[in-house]
Structure 1
């Protein structure tokens, strides 16, 4: 039983949230996470005729103190995944554990305790801040919901300290969002995310709306804050170069599923999934000579609808390695037994191999 207010009794879950997690141990464990949005027909008597499978069986761990980058093309389910982890969207199925405690079904005081420890930085700094509130009110609003973090008399000083931490003048506390540039607004969003001293911050494309020079400033700020406050980040982005710069590990999503996950070196230099290889081949190269000589992978066909994904491997309709097995058997996200070295990381492909190499399975299928 949990009682709100001063002297509240802690539930077992809330007590677990206060425990320390050692560096390198999982702080967030996601298993077979599913989020389907129903498709209905009719006006008065609505009947479900299908579902958009935005997230469909995603599994990964976020370690204490690390940055896990999530990449993939638009519509693959990255932002939906972030919202489900925050419980802004209820999960259709699967499990999300924070410090070993299931949080996907929490509500009330339990959910409030989770959200103090897991915060989010949103994509658009123009719409994520209330234009009618001052910066002081925006950053200080979490203290109204969690008064135990900062007593009322200390809140102004706490907000000014947060502004200073993210590189803004503490005297800006009475200004409004429209008086700031895009990069400054994103810093305000980061300050709001830090207000409750969280352990995990989910960054949903936090720099995609910013200029390149400002992107670098915000990325450097995030790295600096991670060292100062021992934060764990889940960093969602389209820009593969930014993800490589900030991430310890990288997960690649396609049509609601994780298709490959590994360290930044494993993914960028030893990718084994065809989709990851196609993504990396599309990264712009600043050297004109290298740009002309490199071998691009141009995918044919459109991305299938998440309301009606292909059977078996979801990437098979655009994959140059696809065989009959790919249409009938769903590939598991696991380390392929035939790979070694840096290529031996989790990849959801029946014929996982580094680019230009073949696998024993691929040879037997074609032979």
Structure 2
């Protein structure tokens, strides 16, 4: 489903720092892990926003912040215009009904001591207004059927299902309260490739049927392209580039995005031989001590003095403003350019 322009979630300057402490009798803070450090984006109604990046870049922390499983250090998350970071008690409980999450591990996210019927029906115990007590069993059966499972298996336990089936159970639980937004935190990374396709296709069908908006977090770029309307590339707690699937995959302007895409496996041997692979040197810096200026500069082949002195804003690069072309999307790089453009291969200085 394509978005209709109405913003469901508005994230502004979102920050999550985890304190680093020292001492035994007296604990004092000596630093902080900057897991999420100033992230801003909008999620429109009916849209799928894919969030990609290397492990440790803050994707999962961002997902937990969006559903209020973690409290932000700073920033705003507005749902339908209301800042949910300031809510608590009944007000927060009401909002959580509309923003649900599908977790990465389809086994550890399900209580092994509860039957499938109890797991999917548990949201009705927390939000009894969503379903009368007498109709809950039938609603659970309907949800099982919607996600492609046999309603007669309602009394089985999670260990009696395969990994793909368990993830379908997690999706059914997320759908129980008819939310507007679902945050899917790497929902297919633990599954076989053939099962991944089935689950991704299921998510697309459910989006059309229930008018859902997704934040789809993953590190598999091919899966993200298949399901996403827009893609946000994340690096070390910040967004590096945001655009439509075609803009990001065919016209990337940030060096980090270009390096990520060059690592995607290509099934065609001829195309693979012709493709230029970008090898990044070094490891990701520690989020407890990120580099000054541009956080990617320590691994970037285009880095110059300006990159160490100034934080690049997430804006449309000046050379592409007003062109209306596919490269005219926001990118946090002082020297943003499409691959192969003049100056794109400068050595670091």
TM-score category by the smaller chain?
Answer: over 0.9
- Alignment partners' CA distance in 1, 2:138 and 2:58: 39
- Alignment partners' CA distance in 2, 1:29 and 1:251: 14
Equivalent residue, structure 2, for 1:36: 17
RMSD (Å) for aligned C-alpha atoms: 1.5
Could you tell me which of 228, 231, 237 is aligned with 1:247?
228
Could you tell me which of 153, 175, 186 is aligned with 2:134?
153
Structure 1 residue 302 displacement after superposition = 1.0
- Alignment partners' CA distance in 1, 2:181 and 2:4: 13
What is the 5 A alignment of 1:56-67? Answer: 56-67=37-48
Do structure 1's residue 350 and structure 2's residue 334 form an aligned pair? yes
Structure 1 gaps of 5+ residues are 1-21
Structure 1 residue 43 displacement after superposition = 1.5
Could you tell me which of 288, 294, 299 is aligned with 2:269?
288
Structure 1 residue 44 displacement after superposition = 1.6
Structure 1 residue 359 displacement after superposition = 6.4
Equivalent residue, structure 2, for 1:12: none
Structure 1 residue 114 displacement after superposition = 1.1
Aligned length: 343
Question: Which moves more between the two structures, 334-343 or 196-205?
Answer: 334-343
Equivalent residue, structure 2, for 1:328: 309
Structure 1 residue 343 displacement after superposition = 0.2
Do structure 1's residue 129 and structure 2's residue 102 form an aligned pair? no
SS class of match (1:291): helix
- Alignment partners' CA distance in 2, 1:80 and 1:71: 13
- Alignment partners' CA distance in 2, 1:358 and 1:71: 27
Task: Assess if the C-alpha contact under 8 Å between 1:66 and 1:248 holds in 2.
Answer: yes
Do structure 1's residue 68 and structure 2's residue 86 form an aligned pair? no
Do structure 1's residue 270 and structure 2's residue 251 form an aligned pair? yes
- Alignment partners' CA distance in 2, 1:170 and 1:336: 53
Could you tell me which of 313, 317, 327 is aligned with 2:298?
317
Equivalent residue, structure 1, for 2:186: 205
Do structure 1's residue 87 and structure 2's residue 100 form an aligned pair? no
Structure 1 residue 126 displacement after superposition = 1.1
Task: Assess if the C-alpha contact under 8 Å between 1:76 and 1:255 holds in 2.
Answer: yes
- Alignment partners' CA distance in 1, 2:342 and 2:288: 33
Structure 1 residue 322 displacement after superposition = 0.6
Equivalent residue, structure 2, for 1:169: 150
SS class of match (1:342): coil
Equivalent residue, structure 1, for 2:214: 233
Structure 1 residue 287 displacement after superposition = 1.5
Equivalent residue, structure 2, for 1:17: none
SS class of match (1:345): coil
Equivalent residue, structure 2, for 1:182: 163
Do structure 1's residue 216 and structure 2's residue 217 form an aligned pair? no
Q: Which runs of 4+ in 1 moved over 2 A?
A: none
Could you tell me which of 100, 112, 120 is aligned with 1:139?
120
Give CA deviations for 1:256-289 in whole Å, capped at 9, x if unaligned: 0001000000000000000000000000011122
SS class of match (2:326): helix
Task: Assess if the C-alpha contact under 8 Å between 1:352 and 1:359 holds in 2.
Answer: no
SS class of match (1:183): helix
